[in-house]
């Protein structure tokens, strides 16, 4: 039976070409859109990972409990030895130290008298050691508006809006006034190397980026860091792999009586990102549902048109004694075969398009000329295991559902009228 139906499908192109094309296009769009949406939402998660959470983050427990207050007096100590151990035990991962800090930026006039001041939130990252990974993560080169990136100790990057507020320019000297790790007053001079755009009003109002060593010198944080950020070797965050890292870390650093001992947490448990990750699967399911419903309507209409064209065929088959239900079942079998052919071809094309978008991405830089470090200019798709079979849901279900709805008309045929129709 299946072989017979396949011959009919491939030999009668007028009957099968349109449904196969519709199924192929629908499945292709479903797969490509799912992968694109998956990649787009995961890029949003990766933005948080690059700038804030990492794939995993190591802190002290008191620091984690008061992280919004940037409590550098509760920061990690002995980080050099800790970093060596982390690189030895997790060689495939990339680890970076960071220090968040707050203070007052003082801009003096040529005579050294304060001209303007403003509160600032800053972050210390590795920019001068020769490792450019942090510069790339923060997208600093594309976000630079004036000046250049720091090239020497004592250089600082300041937000463009903040520089206009303070009336300072690249090359000017500013003073950071804050408190050290030990609670004493800190005053440290920096030279503005360049200005950047962060992309969020809160950060553009008053944020600075400084090399990690300069922050340590200013805040008396030698061999200390507020956070150690870890990145998995995979391009995207994987919760299962991250949990394995956490489990192994806890074995290497078991709980002790030292409340300042390092603790680790995953991206999913920070900034309500777990809820956002759950929404990814929900949105994907919603996309598939929309395509299933829309394609079902298309196949219903296509089935009605095909049924009208095959009106005489069905009449002849009924006239020679074929049962109504048998004709209906053969239509369903044909729809299943058409759905499989369309789903396979559509999935193949969709995966090829998604693979291109995953490797090369879609550059929307021309649409975002005023790009910021918090907004990538290239968006990528992401192919997961689900992408290989998600297209079969609309491809098969819609084809069968549309044919089943249109095939109901077979039961409305009047056997008494068949011979009159055949004579005509």
Do 314 and 307 meet the contact criterion of CB atoms below 8 Å apart? yes
| Distances 414 to 162, 307, 417, 423 between C-alpha atoms, Å | 82, 15, 6, 15
Do 15 and 9 meet the contact criterion of CB atoms below 8 Å apart? yes
* For residue 378, pLDDT beyond 80: no
Tell me the pairing of strands 378-379 and 185-196.
unpaired
- Residue range 169-208, pLDDT digits in tens: 999 999 999 998 988 898 999 999 999 987 667 677 889 9
- Residue range 206-221, pLDDT digits in tens: 899 999 999 999 999 9
| Distances 120 to 108, 126, 174, 196 between C-alpha atoms, Å | 16, 19, 12, 14
When comparing pLDDT for 369 and 182, which is higher? 182
* For residue 249, pLDDT beyond 90: yes
- Residue range 281-334, pLDDT digits in tens: 677 677 767 766 776 676 666 655 555 566 666 666 766 777 777 777 877 887
Q: How far apart are CA 312 and CA 360, in angstroms?
A: 52
Burial of residue 73 (number of CB atoms within 10 Å: 0-12, 13-18, 19+): middle
H or E element that contains 261: none
What is the model's pLDDT at position 403? 74
The mean pLDDT of 347-366, rounded to a whole number, is 83
H or E element that contains 205: none
- Residue range 105-141, pLDDT digits in tens: 999 888 878 888 999 999 999 999 888 889 988 888 8
- Would you place residue 8 in the very low, low, confident or very high pLDDT band (cuts 50, 70, 90)? low
| Distances 206 to 157, 158, 201, 402 between C-alpha atoms, Å | 11, 8, 9, 59
């Amino acid at each position: 039976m299946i072989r017979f139906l396949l011959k009919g499908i491939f030999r009668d192109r007028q009957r099968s070409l349109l449904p196969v094309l519709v199924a192929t296009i629908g499945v292709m769009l479903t797969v490509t859109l799912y992968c694109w949406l998956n990649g787009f939402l995961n890029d949003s998660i990766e933005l948080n990972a690059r700038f804030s959470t990492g794939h995993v983050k190591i802190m002290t427990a008191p620091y984690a409990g008061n992280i919004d207050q940037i409590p550098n007096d509760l920061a990690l100590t002995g980080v050099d030895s800790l970093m060596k151990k982390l690189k030895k035990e997790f060689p495939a991962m990339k680890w970076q130290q960071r220090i968040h800090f707050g203070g007052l930026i003082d801009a003096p006039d040529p005579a050294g008298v304060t001209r303007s001041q403003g509160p600032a939130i800053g972050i210390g990252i590795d920019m001068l050691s020769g490792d450019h990974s942090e510069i790339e993560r923060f997208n600093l080169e594309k976000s630079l508006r004036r000046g250049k990136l720091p090239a020497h100790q004592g250089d600082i990057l300041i937000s463009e809006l903040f520089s206009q507020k303070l009336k300072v320019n690249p090359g000017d000297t500013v003073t950071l006034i804050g408190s050290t790790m030990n609670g004493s007053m800190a005053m440290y001079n920096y030279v503005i190397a360049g200005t950047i755009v962060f992309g969020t009003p809160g950060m553009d109002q008053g944020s600075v980026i400084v090399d990690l060593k300069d922050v340590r010198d200013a805040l008396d944080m030698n061999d200390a860091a507020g956070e150690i950020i870890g990145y998995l070797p995979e391009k995207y965050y994987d919760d299962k792999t991250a949990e394995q890292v956490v489990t192994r870390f806890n074995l290497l650093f078991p709980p002790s009586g030292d409340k300042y001992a390092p603790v680790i947490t995953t991206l999913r448990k920070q900034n309500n990102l777990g809820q956002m990750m759950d929404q990814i699967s929900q949105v994907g399911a919603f996309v598939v549902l929309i395509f299933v419903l829309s394609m079902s309507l298309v196949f219903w209409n296509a089935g009605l048109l095909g049924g009208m064209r095959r009106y005489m065929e069905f009449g002849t088959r009924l006239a020679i004694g074929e049962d109504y239900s048998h004709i209906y079942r053969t239509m369903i079998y044909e729809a299943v075969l058409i759905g499989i052919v369309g789903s396979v071809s559509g999935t193949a094309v969709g995966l090829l398009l998604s693979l291109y978008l995953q490797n090369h991405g879609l550059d929307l830089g021309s649409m975002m000329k005023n790009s910021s470090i918090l907004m990538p200019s290239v968006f990528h798709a992401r192919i997961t295991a689900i992408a290989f079979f998600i297209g079969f849901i609309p491809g098969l279900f819609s084809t069968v559902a549309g044919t089943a709805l249109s095939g109901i008309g077979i039961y409305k045929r009047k056997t008494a009228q068949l011979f009159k129709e055949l004579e005509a």
